[in-house]
């Protein structure tokens, strides 16, 4: 039974969360960011999977590098693209594809409260202080969704260490972990190592806190089966293509696509130690200083050795504040909560595994990190009085400022409308034909769709397209729902 003051506090937190959620959803739709690869293969995959009417207009056979896309379609996890397809089928506009990011963010904040009693509105507010989360909250990319799924699995792992869990509750948590693990593995390959780590923690929690071992083993088996469920795409790829991460070449496995070179290379002489150092330097943004890059936050996560690719993400100010808060907590907290210790251990182990993975320094792949760090901080905040909590909330609002000052103006969560409501329907695009290739190079025609966000003018920083732009000026206009291509100096025309 809640006391009156507790009920008022709960209602205020819920009201503020609803208000913030409305702002996030509105900003995501009004400033929808739909990068070129969504049009190159995310949406073509989705349209094929859910049988969108006239989906032949997005056919994988209608693009210049169709073989590459078909290989990806057969190999990579496709769950997010089902969502892309259904969102586009229901709403008929790319604007709504951003819901694949905004909604998982809100769900994560909601369950932080449901599982642990922390403030869901403060959790969400702290998420928005992290530049990469704020940027991804209004994009059609799937990184935020993947990070949220891993974070929810982590919530369950932490919850399993609570002694007061009944047998029924443990089964519900184990089944939930199984379901979320399967979705994680069907979203991104990079989620699978963390599912394994979390499953090990869950098995230990079940067996070490069970008075009756016979009751604990079936639950432990569910967590081990969850790792298998998460790995189903790896298994089917290995059976069909003899490569678990097909079509990407990896380690001793070959694929149509070679392993991309992504490490910055300035510490390559350190061998295996270089990867973890790149990861640490990327977290602290010292990597940007070394490479002479300003802390400029974008969605980019391409080759890390290229100076013009921005791999910053969580915010230097955020990292400093997190470290200072940890010092404050361990010096001032009178009683150390066991949940804080468990959460910290799980986070440290996950970060250690993370640092050894391919592309560890490209932080948009690891958005579970700020989620778990924020949860840890809110656990710690519970142990302080009203004065510290008020100062903390004020500091949180202040942290919103630096994350948005250094963000590309076209990618800020808050600001003028980015994606104006289109006067055309992208489904009946007739110009995507296999004969058109700008200047004859093997450049996907789908790259031209980047012009959707640039009022018909070709604007892209994609390096492989620069030579095409110089040799062949291509302008795109949308007229009455039809895509018109006007070319100058090209070897073909397509209307």
Mean pLDDT check: name the lowest of 41-50, 58-67, 115-124, 312-321: 58-67
Q: 298 vs 55, which has greater pLDDT?
A: 298
Mean pLDDT check: name the lowest of 191-195, 396-400, 433-437: 433-437
The pLDDT of residue 433 is above 70 = no
The whole-chain average pLDDT of the chain stands at 78
pLDDT at 404: 75
Mean pLDDT check: name the lowest of 39-43, 81-85, 241-245, 281-285: 39-43
Mean pLDDT confidence for 265-279? 86
Residue 426 in domain: no
Q: Are residues 480 and 381 in the same domain?
A: no
Mean pLDDT confidence for 313-342? 91
Q: 79 vs 261, which has greater pLDDT?
A: 79
pLDDT at 21: 96
Residue 289 in domain: yes
In tens, the pLDDT along 454-485 reads 333 333 333 444 434 333 333 333 323 333 33
Task: Among 391, 420, 449, give the residue marking a domain's end.
Answer: 420
With a CB cutoff of 8 Å and minimum separation 6, the contacts of 186 are: 77, 78, 79, 232, 233
Residue 482 in domain: yes
The pLDDT of residue 30 is above 60 = yes
The pLDDT of residue 269 is above 50 = yes
pLDDT at 3: 53
In tens, the pLDDT along 206-228 reads 998 777 778 889 999 999 999 99
User: How would you write the chain as a 3-class SS string?
Assistant: CCCHHHHHHHHHHHHHHHHHHHHHHHHHHHCCECCHHHHHHHHHHHHHHHCCCCHHHHCHHHCCCHHHHHHHHHHCCCHHHHHHHHHHHHHCCHHHHHHHHHHHHHHHHHHHHHHHCCCHHHHHHHHHCCHHHHHHCCECCCHHHHHHHHHHHHHHHHHCCCCCCCHHHHHHHHHHHHHHHHHHHCCCHHHHHHHHHHHHHHHHHHHHCCCCHHHHHHHHHHHHHHHHHHCHHHHHHHHHHCCCCCCECECCECCCECCCCCCCCCCHHHHHHHHHHHHHHHHHCHHHHHCCCCCCECCCCCCCCCCCCCCCCCCHHHHHHHHHHHHHHHHHCCCCCHHHHHHHHHHHHHHHHHHCCCCCCCHHHHCHHHHHHHHHHHHHHCCCCHHHHHHHHHHHHHHHHHHHHCECCCCCCCCCCCCCCCCCCCCCCCCCCCCCCHHHCCCCHHHHHHHHHCCCCCCCCCHHHHHHHHHCEEEEEEECCEEEEEEECCCCCCC
The pLDDT of residue 59 is above 50 = yes
Residue 379 in domain: yes
pLDDT at 447: 39
Q: 461 vs 34, which has greater pLDDT?
A: 34
Q: Are residues 298 and 361 in the same domain?
A: yes
Mean pLDDT check: name the lowest of 271-285, 400-414, 451-465: 451-465
pLDDT at 70: 80
pLDDT at 54: 52
Are 146 and 187 within 8 A, CB to CB?
yes
Q: Are residues 37 and 156 in the same domain?
A: yes
pLDDT at 259: 74
pLDDT at 336: 81
Q: Are residues 357 and 398 in the same domain?
A: yes
Q: 486 vs 4, which has greater pLDDT?
A: 4
CA atoms of 307 and 42, how far apart (whole Å): 27
Residue 427 in domain: no
Are 102 and 28 within 8 A, CB to CB?
yes
Q: Are residues 412 and 447 in the same domain?
A: no
Q: 306 vs 153, which has greater pLDDT?
A: 153
Mean pLDDT check: name the lowest of 196-205, 248-257, 406-415: 406-415
Q: 492 vs 302, which has greater pLDDT?
A: 302
Q: Are residues 443 and 407 in the same domain?
A: no
Are 325 and 376 within 8 A, CB to CB?
no
Q: Are residues 27 and 162 in the same domain?
A: yes
Mean pLDDT confidence for 421-446? 31
What percent of the chain has a predicted confidence (pLDDT) above 70? 75
Q: 300 vs 29, which has greater pLDDT?
A: 29
The pLDDT of residue 174 is above 70 = yes
Task: Among 369, 386, 420, give the residue marking a domain's end.
Answer: 420
Cα four-point dihedral sign 323, 297, 20, 369: negative
Residue 215 in domain: yes
Mean pLDDT check: name the lowest of 180-189, 298-307, 359-368, 385-394: 298-307
Q: Are residues 228 and 258 in the same domain?
A: yes
Domain total for the chain? Answer: 2
Q: Are residues 101 and 65 in the same domain?
A: yes
Q: Are residues 444 and 400 in the same domain?
A: no
Q: Are residues 464 and 373 in the same domain?
A: no
Task: Among 370, 389, 420, give the residue marking a domain's end.
Answer: 420
Residue 431 in domain: no
Residue 430 in domain: no
Q: Are residues 415 and 460 in the same domain?
A: no
Mean pLDDT confidence for 384-405? 90
Residues of the domain holding 482: 438-488
Mean pLDDT check: name the lowest of 140-144, 392-396, 401-405: 401-405
């Amino acid at each position: 039974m809640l006391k009156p003051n507790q009920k008022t506090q709960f209602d205020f937190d819920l009201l503020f969360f609803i208000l913030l959620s409305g702002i996030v959803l509105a900003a995501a739709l009004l400033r929808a960011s739909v990068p070129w690869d969504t049009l190159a293969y995310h949406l073509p995959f989705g349209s094929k999977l859910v049988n969108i009417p006239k989906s032949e207009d997005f056919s994988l056979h209608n693009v210049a590098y169709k073989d590459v896309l078909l290989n990806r379609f057969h190999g990579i996890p496709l769950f997010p693209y089902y969502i892309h397809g259904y969102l586009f089928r229901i709403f008929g506009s790319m604007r709504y594809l951003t819901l694949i990011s905004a909604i998982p963010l809100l769900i994560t904040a909601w369950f932080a409260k449901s599982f642990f009693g922390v403030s869901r509105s403060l959790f969400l507010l702290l998420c928005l202080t992290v530049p990469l989360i704020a940027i991804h909250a209004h994009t059609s990319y799937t990184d935020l969704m993947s990070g949220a799924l891993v974070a929810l699995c982590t919530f369950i792992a932490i919850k399993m260490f609570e002694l007061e869990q009944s047998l029924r509750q443990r089964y519900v948590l184990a089944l939930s972990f199984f379901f979320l693990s399967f979705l994680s593995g069907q979203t991104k390959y990079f989620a699978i190592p963390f599912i394994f780590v979390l499953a090990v923690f869950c098995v230990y929690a079940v067996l070490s806190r069970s008075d009756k071992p016979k009751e604990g083993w079936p639950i432990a088996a569910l967590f081990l089966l969850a790792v298998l469920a998460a790995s189903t795409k790896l298994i089917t790829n290995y059976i069909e293509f003899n490569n678990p991460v097909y079509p990407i070449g990896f380690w001793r496995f070959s694929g149509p696509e070679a392993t991309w070179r992504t490490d910055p290379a300035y510490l390559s002489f350190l061998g295996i130690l270089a990867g973890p150092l790149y990861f640490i330097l990327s977290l602290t943004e010292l990597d940007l200083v070394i490479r002479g890059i300003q802390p400029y936050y974008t969605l980019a996560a391409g080759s890390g050795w290229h100076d013009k690719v921005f791999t910053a993400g969580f915010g230097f100010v955020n990292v400093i504040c997190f470290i200072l808060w940890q010092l404050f907590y361990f010096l001032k907290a009178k009683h150390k909560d066991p949940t804080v210790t468990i959460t910290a251990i799980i986070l440290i182990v996950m970060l250690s595994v993370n640092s050894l993975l391919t592309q560890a320094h490209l932080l948009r792949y690891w958005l579970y990190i700020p989620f778990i760090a924020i949860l840890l901080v809110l656990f710690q905040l519970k142990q302080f009085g009203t004065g510290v909590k008020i100062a903390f909330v004020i500091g949180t609002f202040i942290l919103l400022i630096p994350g948005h000052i250094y963000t590309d103006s076209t990618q800020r969560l808050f600001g003028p409308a980015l994606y104006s409501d289109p006067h055309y329907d992208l489904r009946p695009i007739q110009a995507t034909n296999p004969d058109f290739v700008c200047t004859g190079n093997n450049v996907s025609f789908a790259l031209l769709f980047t012009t959707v966000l640039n009022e018909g003018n070709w604007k892209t920083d994609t390096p492989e397209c620069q030579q095409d732009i110089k040799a062949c000026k291509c302008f795109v206009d949308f007229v009455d729902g039809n895509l018109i291509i006007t070319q100058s100096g090209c070897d073909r025309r397509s209307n």
